A and B are shown apart, each in its own frame.
Chain A
Amino acid sequence: MTTEFMQRAPDKTMSARECFGIDSSLTVPAFSERDDHVPDIDPAYRFNAEVTLAILAGFMCNRRVMVQGLHGTGKSTHIEQVAARLNWPCVRVNLDGHISRLDLVGKDAIVLRDERQITEFQEGIVPWALQRPVALIFDEYDAGRPDVMFVIQRILERDGSFTLLDQNRVIRPHRYFRLFATTNTIGLGNVNGLYHGTQLLNHAQMDRWNVVATLNYLPRDEEVDIVLARVPEMADEAGRALVQSMVGMAALTRKGFAAGDLSTLMSPRTVIDWAENCQIFRDPALAFRLTFLNKCEEAERAIVAEYYQRCFDVELAGEPAADAVSGADDRGARQ
């Protein structure tokens, strides 16, 4: 990383309408040259209008944007794909419960210089990114320990500078430094039992995020298009019908989850996996079993099998079909 990289700045503008296919007249600053840190463009990616606008606001106006949503909705990918199209360098940090202050801020490390061992301060990811035109993405923000996350408290302010206590140095953020985060919960912890290991976030910090976008499950047709774009082998008439049923199935599991009947649900990623597995196993039912059903609790499989019957008109083998068809024996009861 040279000073040249640190000097870079957006040198062109792009139209949001053309670039992301959303209905907006925004023009967004962008870099004309790609860099190692710019993510690859996924041409099949579909942008959600609202979330795209939020992320673009983050890039254009230097807002701190948090994207919240259930798992598998493509939150991090969404930010990355926006950055990829803007050629904006992007660094993704996966937070977990073991990331400490030293990892983020930097620490003294032993390095070799002139064949002698010396101790030298090495910047952590936060000061490094802060001085460069980089979009820093904190993934799984709610997995980070809240006491540690206070190190970013000041840089959440737009012009907040960052003090390196170890060096008595104050770092001013680069003009084109951007900060994003993705999270499953909205900082209230593991309420529904789905996201084990998430933390209760400090709401003084939550409050500092300027924009909180929610990326939840998409309308059925959009989701069908996404799956088809991912698995182009299915893009014929029959394949489309199949994918529609698959997406319908996923929608049922989501509503079933919301109603408390299921303890797990199918994310768009599961649907894509299922579609891909269909190509491997050549049998949607088998692929479904291997992709999702085996992740479900034993007691809930009967319900999932019912959903499957609704969508595909097929009884999942081994599920309560045996008892289901015995209904005729009970004739005459309760009269």
Chain B
Amino acid sequence: MMPPPEAVSAAVRREALCAAVVRALTGDAALHYRGGRLCRQRRPLPLHAPHLHGNAYIDDFASLRGASDGAAARLTHSDPALHRLLSPEDRLERLLFELFEQVRCEALAAPGMQGLARNLRYRFESWSRAYCRSGLIDGHLGILVYTVLQVVWSRVTGWPVLAESEGLIEATRAGIAPHIGSALAGLRRDRFDQRAYGEIGRDLARRIAAMLEDARAGSRLEDEADADARDPDDPLTSFSLWVDFDDSDDLLPGGDARAEGRAPFEAARAYRAYTTQFDREVRAGRLVRAALLREYREQLDERIAARGINVARVARAMQAALAVPVRNGWSFGEEDGRIDGRRLAQIVSSPGERRVFVQERVRPRGDCVLGLLIDCSASMKAHVDTVAMLVDTLTRASEQAGLTTEVLGFTTGAWNGGRARNEWLAQGRPPRPGRLNELCHMVFKSADDSWRRARSDIAALFKADLFREGVDGEAIEWACTRLAAHQAARRILVVISDGSPMDAATVQANDARYLDAHLSEVLGRHESLRDVDVIGLGVARDLSVSFRHCLALDPAAPLDTKRLISLAQWIGARR
């Protein structure tokens, strides 16, 4: 189910706020959220405690805050190398151990951070409620883990256990109390010492796992007759509150080189185009009849006029965000500064005249090239109105602000692989053919054109049959190469898209993640090269899975000056 557009932009904004707080709390500028997971550079961090996995779409804001604060606490107070060293092997023991460590970090929240402490507590409690609701707690394993966690949490942090479930855990608690009592006291005492705490925690985890093993052995005996007996381990694998260690086992903190998600990385390395024979780069204006193009342009002009957009204000915002002051010429007739030699005669003849000085003039200059890359896949057809207006106004405003702009688009020349796929079929379908389609890269406005000259080409966006499929990775590569050719202090590429790459033929012939992996690889490369800032503007879509910096645009809300200004500021923000 697709979330509604306004929910997407709200969620993206909330996630961005939480990420900003995590960065401030940890002092690590490389942290950000990507697809709901906290990442450093492009690597997800190994935060396995289930209550740290917030979901910006489902959880309320307080809960999301708690999840990100918990992650920040963990990053601040826990030494990942030591943690890895102490981690037990067994799956259940390891999970408990992770939880204990997380609880320890949360208990250490700095003094003078009441809100942080409350967020942590709120998050833990709402997670506990969700856990109870999920029915997990009915299982033997479920209730045992839950009880241990509640008791440890309450003991280490000093907050009372969740009142609603106090009755639920009472019996289990009484049962295990004699076995874990001393360990609990130790945990509380050693919470400032990760090693001592970790050793007690590991011991406690082992004891709980052993208890469970006993219980399981007992229940096996009883249920032996019943062939369909549910595996008591079941909840661990089926319930989404529990994390899957396996998918991220090697993403250990402090991350080493191999930590890059392995499978996608290999796929990306193998990325190739089956044939580039049919790829083309065209001026978008050439694809549409001149008369029709004029008509489209009038249509676009009318819409922009109807919105009453103040381009000059957007241009000023652009200028403020992107231009740098440079010394440029002189300003004459000033009241102070250096004496203007040409006015000496005037000083002699009328000594009362004071405006005889010159000053160096400082003017803003836009030393920046801005590229707008439009995803022209079929689904974007629905949003073309907003996108065309946005692109047109931003281009005009940037030009007024003295920036160089390029407007580019990408689509494919045909559906379902076109001639490239035919050729592949004719060759007898060799395995792993790579990208199978005719790319079509469109130039709506190149850097050398003025807006006035390119204005009709931009209207070509209204031509519906240009919209087919999209291979984002190669398109971004192409756009970056174009931008990198310009000498400028900053190069920014805004990718306007409504989703991940889509090309049916390629996906069928390779694997489903083939294009996504390449997109991630391309973005990751430019992120580390820092030659072009690639940022994603999602149209009713959260692009945070692939883009480090992204924003979601709600196409239904009217595009007015205010929104354009905030977009301009977002584009120009220092990164």
Contacts and interface: CB of A to CB of B under 8 A. Distances in A.
Interface in A174-221: 193, 220
B10 A260 contact: no
B229 interface: no
A262 to B, nearest CB: 8
Contacts of A333: 1, 3-4, 7, 11, 57-58
Interface SS majority for chain A: helix
Interface stretch (B61-69, B250-258, B306-314, B505-513): B61-69
A68 interface: no
Nearest to A221: B111
A312 interface: yes
Interface in B88-135: 110-116, 118-119
Given A258-B29, A312-B114, A306 B17 contact: yes
Nearest to A248: B112
Contacts of B17: 302-303, 306, 320
A309 B113 CA distance: 9
Contacts of B203: none
Given A311-B115, A314-B115, A330-B57, A306 B21 contact: yes
Contacts of A253: 24
Contacts of B28: 259
B23 A259 contact: yes
Given A309-B115, A328-B60, A252 B110 contact: no
Contacts of A332: 1, 58
Nearest to A324: B61
B165 interface: no
A248 B58 contact: no
A310 interface: yes
Given A314-B115, A328-B60, A335 B1 contact: yes
Interface residues of B, number: 44
Interface string B485-511: 000000000000000000000000000
B58 A256 contact: no
Nearest to B59: A327
Contact of A334 (B3, B26, B69): B3
A256 B16 CA distance: 13
B64 A327 contact: yes
A325 B60 contact: yes
Interface in A280-335: 299, 302-303, 306-314, 320, 323-335
A125 B358 CA distance: 28
A310 B23 contact: no
Interface string B1-31: 1011001001101100110110111111100
Nearest to B17: A306
Contacts of B118: 313
A81 interface: no
Contacts of B27: 255, 258-259
Contacts of B3: 330, 333-334
Contacts of B57: 330, 333-334
A245 interface: yes
Interface residues of A, number: 44
B566 interface: yes
B28 to A, nearest CB: 7
A248 B1 CA distance: 41
Contacts of A52: none
A311 B14 contact: no
A261 interface: yes
Nearest to B58: A331
Contacts of A312: 114-115
Contact of B10 (A241, A244, A258, A330): A330
Interface of B: 1, 3-4, 7, 10-11, 13-14, 17-18, 20-21, 23-29, 55, 57-61, 63-65, 69, 110-116, 118-119, 566, 569-570, 573-575
8 contacts: A220-B110, A255-B23, A255-B26, A256-B24, A306-B21, A310-B65, A327-B10, A335-B1
Given A259-B27, A312-B115, A330-B58, 12 more contacts: A220-B110, A245-B112, A252-B24, A255-B25, A258-B29, A261-B24, A306-B17, A309-B65, A310-B25, A313-B115, A314-B115, A325-B60
Which 5 pairs, one residue from A and one from B, show the smallest C-beta to C-beta distance?
A244-B112, A333-B3, A313-B115, A259-B29, A334-B57
